[in-house]
């Protein structure tokens, strides 16, 4: 193999900058390509039987059921904080009657899908990356391969499908908890009438808002397990490699959630 | 037969294999020895198709597996059994399920037949009534034996052992080596083992190859290697700090 960069220490500085830029670009393009191919392989395996239903059920339990408590808790407190701040702001212009629709629409369209995805990333996504990372460094993923079995079928596909199944459900639960959290503050503590809170919400929020939240949560449900399993699958060596992969998975997932949230919010009605 | 021809591998700018040539005959136990970090496990991963070389070929019964992908590579791997350095047992499964896993996923055997074969293999490696335990609950030596049972449960033609006795006490090292030798006598598989258990490996090896700085510098039977005139081989098998090769 020819090493074209032999003697690079003697190259002039601009040539080394160009080489570094080229190396960086190649690495970036290669990473994006690998990332896309990883998803392509996983999607293809969804349609090529056998689908591992027991593993899928396990992942639904892991991603969905185990995140339930934190989703209800954070949903309720998000709704309470939102109810308080929206009530105090609307009170300045004498429109506190609109606290219900403001809380409802903000939760259903934006905060529900985004915050649910972020919390589930921190809870289940990070665990998924760490689990696959440890399997990688202890050669368990290699063991699948040398048994002539595709590890993606067992480890990645169930996780992505579980995300797509559970994220919309968790988001709906977060929304309901948030709406009742807002109710607790706006109605029971600050004196808005219950009829006004829910009546105005019903008048202003419609199915379009619910569907925007649904499509976003569906998208995040595929995105988060994709990023987290990819990072675990391609983690570096040792404990440091697993730790770095887990951090990268959480950070990248959260950044992509916010970016996708903006673009989906722009595209969806 | 496995034939490795001119195998080269770089990690970044670091050469790890610099032109490895090695033949493994059908039915023999070939043991690759060499210093830690010398590329033995990298060589094994090329034979398993887990790494792709920068140059050279790994020919298994006439097929260069470095050119294979997907289903074609899986067809070759169906003939393999592998014992990884750390066992690579699935820690979410019991011992029984670990050994049963390849049978459940790769064969059409019923639950009763699978249970019978798994119990039989666990008995052969001396682990009767241990199937219900988790890998975390058993000792290092037992984990190695479970890994051997899992590798052999599908009755493969070629079995690879990546340092199967590393980290075990001398009694366990001999126990595992004798177990491999007994299983080899029974099943007549081709075995490729990476190890640096000197002199224990000389008792079980049909042939030994020494990998040094990315090339095979000596190949021969146990006696031939022990009587080698190559000073690097002599330094390695006697564990001498001073010698032909400078020890960092």
Average pLDDT over residues A13-17: 86
Domain boundary among A33, A48, A63: A48
The pairing of strands B207-212 and B2-11 is: unpaired
- Judged on CB neighbours under 10 Å (0-12, 13-18, 19+), B139 is exposed
Which residues span the domain enclosing A156? 51-267
Rounded to 5 degrees, φ, ψ at B194 are -100, 130
Nearest CA in chain B to A50: B105
Determine, for residues B48 and A148 on separate chains, whether the beta-carbon distance falls below 8 Å: no
Does residue A183 share a domain with residue A206? yes
Q: Which structure tokens are listed for A14?
A: 């601009």
Distance CA B35, CA B248 (A): 12
Give the distance from residue B246's alpha carbon to the nearest chain A alpha carbon, in angstroms: 26
Give the distance from residue A92's alpha carbon to the nearest chain B alpha carbon, in angstroms: 57
Interface A-B, measured as beta-carbon pairs within 8 A, has a size of 50
User: What is the b/e burial string over A60-69, where b = at least 16 CB atoms within 10 angstroms of the residue's CB?
Assistant: bebbbeebee
Task: Please check whether residue B150 is in contact with residue B82, taking contact to mean a CB–CB distance below 8 angstroms.
Answer: no
Query: If you count them, how many residues does chain B have?
Result: 248
Angle of the A207-233 helix axis to the A112-120 helix axis, nearest 10: 20
Task: Please check whether residue B88 is in contact with residue A135, taking contact to mean a CB–CB distance below 8 angstroms.
Answer: no
Sign of CA dihedral B199, B201, B202, B208: negative
Distance CA A19, CA A7 (A): 13
Task: Write down the pLDDT at residue A4.
Answer: 56
Q: Which structure tokens are listed for B200?
A: 């224990």
Nearest CA in chain B to A41: B70
Asked whether residue A5 is domain-assigned, the answer is: no
Strand partners, B7: B20
Residue with tokens 């791997």: B77
Asked whether residue A196 is domain-assigned, the answer is: yes
Domains contained in chain A, number? 2
Distance CA B172, CA B150 (A): 19
Asked whether residue A8 is domain-assigned, the answer is: no
- The SS3 call for residue B192 is strand
Average pLDDT of chain B? 91
Distance CA B75, CA B80 (A): 10
Q: Which structure tokens are listed for B175?
A: 């126990």
- Residue-wise pLDDT tens digits, A162-175: 999 999 999 999 99
Does residue A155 share a domain with residue A243? yes
**pLDDT-based confidence at residue B141 (cuts at 50, 70, 90):** confident
Q: Order of strands, edge to edge, in the sheet holding B2-11?
A: B14-24, B2-11, B55-60, B63-64
Average pLDDT over residues A103-122: 96
B14 touches chain A (CB under 8 A): no
Q: Which structure tokens are listed for A105?
A: 């629409």
Task: Write down the pLDDT at residue A1.
Answer: 46
Distance CA A181, CA A202 (A): 17
Cβ contacts of A149 on chain B, cutoff 8 Å: 102, 105-106
**pLDDT-based confidence at residue B173 (cuts at 50, 70, 90):** confident
Give the distance from residue A140's alpha carbon to the nearest chain B alpha carbon, in angstroms: 5
pLDDT higher than 90, residue B56: yes
Does residue A90 share a domain with residue A195? yes
Determine, for residues B89 and A140 on separate chains, whether the beta-carbon distance falls below 8 Å: yes
Rounded to 5 degrees, φ, ψ at A206 are -130, -175
**pLDDT-based confidence at residue A266 (cuts at 50, 70, 90):** very high
Does residue A228 share a domain with residue A153? yes
Does residue A136 share a domain with residue A21? no
Q: In this predicted complex, what is the ipTM? A: 0.89
Does residue A135 share a domain with residue A41? no
A149 touches chain B (CB under 8 A): yes
Does residue A152 share a domain with residue A44? no
Task: Please check whether residue A265 is in contact with residue A109, taking contact to mean a CB–CB distance below 8 angstroms.
Answer: yes
pLDDT higher than 60, residue A3: no
Asked whether residue A4 is domain-assigned, the answer is: no
Determine, for residues B78 and A148 on separate chains, whether the beta-carbon distance falls below 8 Å: yes
Question: Could you say which of A138, A145, A147 has the minimum Cβ distance to residue B86?
Answer: A138
pLDDT higher than 50, residue B248: no
**Half-sphere exposure at residue B1, Cβ-oriented, CA atoms within 13 angstroms:** 7
Does residue A26 share a domain with residue A133? no
Asked whether residue A173 is domain-assigned, the answer is: yes
Average pLDDT of chain A? 93
B159 touches chain A (CB under 8 A): no
Q: Which structure tokens are listed for B228?
A: 């080698």
Tell me how far CA of residue B137 lies from CA of A127, B130, B143, in angstroms. Answer: 22, 10, 9
Task: Write down the pLDDT at residue B244.
Answer: 61
Task: Write down the pLDDT at residue B37.
Answer: 83
Does residue A210 share a domain with residue A187? yes
Cβ contacts of A148 on chain B, cutoff 8 Å: 74-75, 77-78, 80, 106
Asked whether residue A1 is domain-assigned, the answer is: no
Task: Write down the pLDDT at residue B13.
Answer: 84
Task: Please check whether residue A176 is in contact with residue A168, taking contact to mean a CB–CB distance below 8 angstroms.
Answer: no
Give the distance from residue B88's alpha carbon to the nearest chain A alpha carbon, in angstroms: 5
What is the 3-state composition of chain A as percent helix, strand, coil, each rounded to the nearest 5? Answer: 85, 0, 15
pLDDT higher than 50, residue B179: yes
Task: Write down the pLDDT at residue B125.
Answer: 87
Asked whether residue A111 is domain-assigned, the answer is: yes
Cβ contacts of B101 on chain A, cutoff 8 Å: 147
Interface test with chain A among B17, B44, B71, B105, by most A beta carbons within 10 Å? B105
The pairing of strands B2-11 and B14-24 is: antiparallel
Asked whether residue A3 is domain-assigned, the answer is: no
The torsion of the CA quartet B91, B93, B94, B96, rounded to 10 degrees, works out to: -120
Nearest CA in chain B to A55: B92
Determine, for residues A140 and B50 on separate chains, whether the beta-carbon distance falls below 8 Å: no
Q: DSSP letter at B28? A: -
Task: Write down the pLDDT at residue B172.
Answer: 81
Does residue A61 share a domain with residue A157? yes
- Residue-wise pLDDT tens digits, A50-71: 999 999 999 999 999 999 999 9
Question: Could you say which of A3, A5, A146 has the minimum Cβ distance to residue B77?
Answer: A146
Cβ contacts of B77 on chain A, cutoff 8 Å: 145-148
* Bond from prior residue into B199 cis (ω within 30 degrees of 0): yes
Does residue A219 share a domain with residue A133? yes
- Judged on CB neighbours under 10 Å (0-12, 13-18, 19+), B36 is exposed
Does residue A183 share a domain with residue A70? yes
Determine, for residues A140 and B13 on separate chains, whether the beta-carbon distance falls below 8 Å: no
């Amino acid at each position: 193999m020819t090493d074209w960069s032999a003697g690079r220490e003697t190259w002039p500085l601009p040539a080394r900058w160009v080489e570094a830029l080229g190396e960086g670009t190649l690495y970036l393009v290669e990473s994006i390509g690998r990332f896309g191919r990883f998803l392509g392989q996983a999607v293809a395996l969804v349609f090529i039987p056998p689908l591992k239903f027991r593993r899928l059920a396990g992942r639904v339990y892991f991603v969905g059921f185990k995140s339930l408590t934190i989703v209800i808790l954070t949903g309720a407190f998000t709704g309470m904080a939102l109810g308080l701040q929206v009530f105090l702001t609307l009170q300045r212009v004498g429109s506190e009657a609109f606290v219900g629709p403001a809380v409802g629409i903000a939760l259903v369209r934006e905060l529900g899908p985004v915050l649910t995805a972020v919390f589930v990333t921190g809870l289940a996504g990070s665990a998924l990356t760490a689990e696959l990372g440890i399997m990688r460094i202890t050669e368990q993923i290699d063991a699948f391969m040398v048994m002539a079995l595709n590890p993606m079928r067992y480890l990645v596909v169930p996780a992505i499908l579980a995300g797509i199944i559970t994220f919309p459900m968790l988001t709906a639960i977060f929304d309901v908890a948030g709406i009742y959290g807002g109710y607790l503050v706006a109605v029971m503590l600050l004196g808005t009438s219950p009829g006004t809170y829910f009546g105005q919400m019903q008048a202003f929020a419609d199915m379009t808002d619910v569907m925007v939240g649904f499509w976003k949560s569906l998208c995040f449900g595929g995105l988060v397990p994709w990023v987290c399993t990819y990072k675990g699958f391609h983690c570096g060596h040792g404990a440091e490699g697993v730790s770095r992969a887990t951090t990268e998975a959480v950070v990248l997932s959260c950044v992509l959630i916010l970016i996708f949230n903006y673009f989906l919010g722009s595209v969806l009605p | 037969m496995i034939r490795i021809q001119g195998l080269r591998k770089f990690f970044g700018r670091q050469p790890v294999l610099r032109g490895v040539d090695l033949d493994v005959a059908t039915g023999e136990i070939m043991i690759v020895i060499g210093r830690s970090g010398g590329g033995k496990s990298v060589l094994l991963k090329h034979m398993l198709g887990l790494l792709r070389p920068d140059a050279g070929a790994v020919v298994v019964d006439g097929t260069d597996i470095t050119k294979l992908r997907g289903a074609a590579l899986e067809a070759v791997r169906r003939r393999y059994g592998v014992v990884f350095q750390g066992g690579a047992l699935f820690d979410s499964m019991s011992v029984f399920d670990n050994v049963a896993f390849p049978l459940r996923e790769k064969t059409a055997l019923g639950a009763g037949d699978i249970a019978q074969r798994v119990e039989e293999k666990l008995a052969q490696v001396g682990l009767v009534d241990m199937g219900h335990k988790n890998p975390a609950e058993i000792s290092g030596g037992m984990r190695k034996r479970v890994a051997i049972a899992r590798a052999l449960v599908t009755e493969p033609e070629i079995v690879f052992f990546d340092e199967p006795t590393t980290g075990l006490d001398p009694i366990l090292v001999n126990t595992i080596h004798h177990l491999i030798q007994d299983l080899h006598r029974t099943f007549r598989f081709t075995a490729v083992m990476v190890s640096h258990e000197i002199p224990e490996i000389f008792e079980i090896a049909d042939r030994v190859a020494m990998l040094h700085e990315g090339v095979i510098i000596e190949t021969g039977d146990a006696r031939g290697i022990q009587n080698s005139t190559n000073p690097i081989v002599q330094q390695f098998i006697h564990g001498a700090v001073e010698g032909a090769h400078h020890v960092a």
